[in-house]
Structure 1
Amino acid sequence: MTIDYHALSDNIKQWGKELGFQQVGICDVDLREHEEELQRWLNAGYHGQMDWMARHGMMRARPDELVPGTIRVISVRMNYLPPEAGFAQSLSQPNSAYISRYSLGRDYHKLVRNRLKQLGQRIEQAVGSFGYRPFVDSAPILERPLAEKAGLGWTGKHSLIINQDAGSWFFLGELLVDLPLPVDRPVEKQCGKCVACITSCPTGAIIEDGVIDARRCISYLTIEFDGVIPEEFREAIGNRIYGCDDCQLVCPFNRFASVTDEPDYYCRDSLYQQPLATLYQWDEDTFLKHTEGSAIRRIGHQQWLRNLTIAMGNAPYSSDIVNALNARQGDSSLLDIHIEWALDKQHRQRQNLVTEALPTKTQRLIRIIEKGLPRDA
């Protein structure tokens, strides 16, 4: 059977949209230009504890080594921005938990992967047996460079893919195939002189255009990192208990982003804008129940409590928060370290409230004494 690959390519993009992908692009597997950059990033230790980033060496830039026979990658994107996302409202309410918008609904991995598998099956119905394998953030592969090469958008200064018409609120997925499909053209970068994402990062994790030091990134610290969060980042974390969206929130192109059509990505009531104290009371069984089918479950109950402990320390002083923190002491050594910090932060906030309630002259006297200056200074 003779295959018209140009017609097949058009059909693949149409089938992809019918399966719920907002865009489908195709590229070859040559990512050699990214190998040196990847190695520098790894050598600098910017991957932190994500050992899996270095474990497979340069295979991440060589899809044909990951799946021998691969000559093309079908790259897809799927919008995930939920209706009524409430970004500013959540961040401005320090007693409520902020959870990254991609994780407020169902875990995207299975959903996107199943749609990619269906896309592969549709292609198979058209051309007969061929080699294909879907991936969704589940293998050593440079998905963003592939998406950029396939024309889905360009790599922004925050390292995420930006689409001119859709912003960056979307998931990526790949279908590796052994078909000689025509490839798409990359699009021109359009960030220009804008540095909004860099200047808005709470912890200064974007160290240069497109380069992230994960060890400083709130998403890494609250999700990938399971140890003691360095004190220098705790206050900046604020009420963000799972991930961070700040660099996307300020991106001008996200003004054009559309909300998702996938009900699975809609916000769960049990996670959306919930009081910190409510989530802190969850035992492990409750945590597992409310995070079933969610990406959040992967961090486990102890890490969940660790993140909440920091957020509660950053919240305005409350005797209820202090009591809740005290009640968790002794649960684990990891938690105790963060509880001690959070209690100290709450204590200092209480002292400030007491001081602010005093007459102005008394406040000035207290500040002089705290500075160790002579009374007549």
Structure 2
Amino acid sequence: MAETSKIVEELRSRALQLGFEAFGIASADSRPDLPEKLRIALEKGWHGDMEWMAETEERRADPTKLWEEARSVILLGVNYGPDFNPLDLLKEKQIGVISAYARNRDYHDIIKGKLKELAGLLARRSGADVKVFVDTAPLMEKPLAEAAGLGWQGKHTVLVSRKFGSWLFLGAILTSAELPGDKPHAESCGRCTKCLDVCPTKAFPGPFQLDARRCLAYLSVEHKGQIPLEFRVPMGNRIYGCDDCLAVCPWNKFASVSQEAKLRSRPELERPELGTLVALDDAGFRALFAGSPVKRIGHSRFLRNVLIGIGNSGSSGYVPAVENRLNDASPLVRGAAIWALRRLDPDRAEALKNTYLPGENDAEVAAEWSGDI
């Protein structure tokens, strides 16, 4: 045990040197409650069209089913706290708001290399097997991080830390080594419901429950179809993700701004102008978002989101740019452009309907023109 404790202290020290600001250990079987919780969420359909969650249900709910040799889980956190309140950007209707985590280099790339280095150190010191995970495998990092003492899952389902508020990237190392676990963190939200109350689409059926089908973070990033009509106005100028429930958390007042240079926002992604974004071709989109998680949603879904933002801008000055997207090759883009045009200049939209509707071969886009949505 003394030797194991020495290894753990070395790992903690090295993790800090690598830029991890939170470190904790839990046993691989520390959350026997997860299978039932996941089953309930899936049965209610809260995962939306993220079918991979249902397909990997058994492995996702139990790390030992994901890897039967797993005995311990090391959870690590990197602070990405912004230096301003993201909610302030929602007032600037001519810009596109990108979630704080996506305004810098893709966190998968940042964290994975560091995790591999730390895992390698553990393997060398202990002789144990290791596996590294960064939100790319069926592993429920947040409840495991709670078990490892990094924080607790708040009523918005995101991990909350006393030191970093709601702003932690998480990574995990599964290992066959038996490591001493840290004390689980007790839920500390109290009576506060700020995160639930601020949600513009009422995506929380109750505290500690999230219906992704109503969540703007899911709809703008994971959802592949048109944004459902009832969520378009609430979406406002959010073009990638949504920080509302994170940003209002009172624990953020204790959070420090990330000092990690790679996690600081890229200036060009803090307040990008909607008119500039809607004019991007695919090459321009890829160039602007090189190394950013935004690039993963692709050009068409990105333009869909931008056009929703333009439709909510209230500025008729965007009408020519919107019209340029009415004959876009992507039905996603055409449909969103019609909605934006109807919002900004309904008379112009009605006048153009007879030009575009007869030749439209996509049923959803045709419904946008006809108003049958």
What TM-score do you get using the length of structure 2 for normalisation?
0.90
Report the Cα offset of residue 3 of structure 1.
6.5
Superposition pairs of residues 1-80 of structure 1, within 5 angstroms: 4-30=3-29, 31-80=31-80
Secondary structure at the residue paired with 2:267? coil
What amino acid is the match of 1:40?
A: I
RMSD: 1.6
Is 1:327 paired with 2:293? Answer: no
Report the Cα offset of residue 74 of structure 1.
0.3
Partner residue, 2:351: none
Secondary structure at the residue paired with 1:303? helix
Contact 2:166 2:247 in 1 (8 A): no
Partner residue, 2:314: 316
Partner residue, 1:355: none
Return the alpha-carbon distance in structure 2 between the equivalents of residues 133 and 229 of structure 1.
37
Secondary structure at the residue paired with 1:207? coil
Partner residue, 1:276: 274
Partner residue, 2:203: 205
Secondary structure at the residue paired with 2:269? coil
Partner residue, 1:122: 121
Contact 1:287 1:301 in 2 (8 A): yes
2:230 aligned to which of 205, 209, 232: 232
Contact 2:87 2:243 in 1 (8 A): no
Contact 1:158 1:197 in 2 (8 A): yes
Report the Cα offset of residue 349 of structure 1.
11
Superposition pairs of residues 154-173 of structure 1, within 5 angstroms: 154-173=152-171
What amino acid is the match of 1:70?
A: A
Partner residue, 2:106: 107
Contact 1:56 1:140 in 2 (8 A): yes
Return the alpha-carbon distance in structure 2 between the equivalents of residues 117 and 334 of structure 1.
39
Q: Tell me the alpha carbon deviations over residues 276-331 of structure 1, each in whole angstroms, 9 at most, x when there is no partner.
A: 0011111100100111111000000000000000000000222x311100011111
Q: Tell me the alpha carbon deviations over residues 111-159 of structure 1, each in whole angstroms, 9 at most, x when there is no partner.
A: 11111111012223333x3200110001011111110000000110000
Secondary structure at the residue paired with 1:24? strand
Contact 1:316 1:349 in 2 (8 A): no
Report the Cα offset of residue 68 of structure 1.
2.8
Is 1:261 paired with 2:291? Answer: no
Distance 1:280 1:41, change over 3 A: same
Secondary structure at the residue paired with 1:164? coil
Partner residue, 2:366: none
Report the Cα offset of residue 348 of structure 1.
5.8
Contact 2:96 2:274 in 1 (8 A): yes
2:338 aligned to which of 336, 340, 362: 340
Return the alpha-carbon distance in structure 2 between the equivalents of residues 326 and 167 of structure 1.
43
Contact 1:79 1:170 in 2 (8 A): yes
Report the Cα offset of residue 261 of structure 1.
2.1
Return the alpha-carbon distance in structure 2 between the equivalents of residues 57 and 91 of structure 1.
36
What amino acid is the match of 1:328?
A: R
Q: Note the residue ranges of structure 1 that are not aligned, 5 or more in a row.
A: 351-377
Report the Cα offset of residue 342 of structure 1.
1.0
Secondary structure at the residue paired with 1:212? coil
2:245 aligned to which of 247, 256, 260: 247
Return the alpha-carbon distance in structure 1 between the equivalents of residues 65 and 331 of structure 2.
43
Distance 1:122 1:28, change over 3 A: same
Return the alpha-carbon distance in structure 1 between the equivalents of residues 346 and 233 of structure 2.
13
Partner residue, 2:143: 145
What amino acid is the match of 1:116?
A: L
Secondary structure at the residue paired with 2:268? coil
Q: Tell me the alpha carbon deviations over residues 95-115 of structure 1, each in whole angstroms, 9 at most, x when there is no partner.
A: 111100000000000211111
Secondary structure at the residue paired with 1:209? coil
Return the alpha-carbon distance in structure 2 between the equivalents of residues 96 and 317 of structure 1.
12
Contact 2:326 2:337 in 1 (8 A): yes
Aligned length: 346
Aligned identity (percent) is: 39
What amino acid is the match of 2:319?
A: V
Distance 1:166 1:269, change over 3 A: closer
What amino acid is the match of 1:329?
A: L
Q: Which range moved further: 58-67 or 156-165?
A: 58-67
Contact 1:317 1:349 in 2 (8 A): no
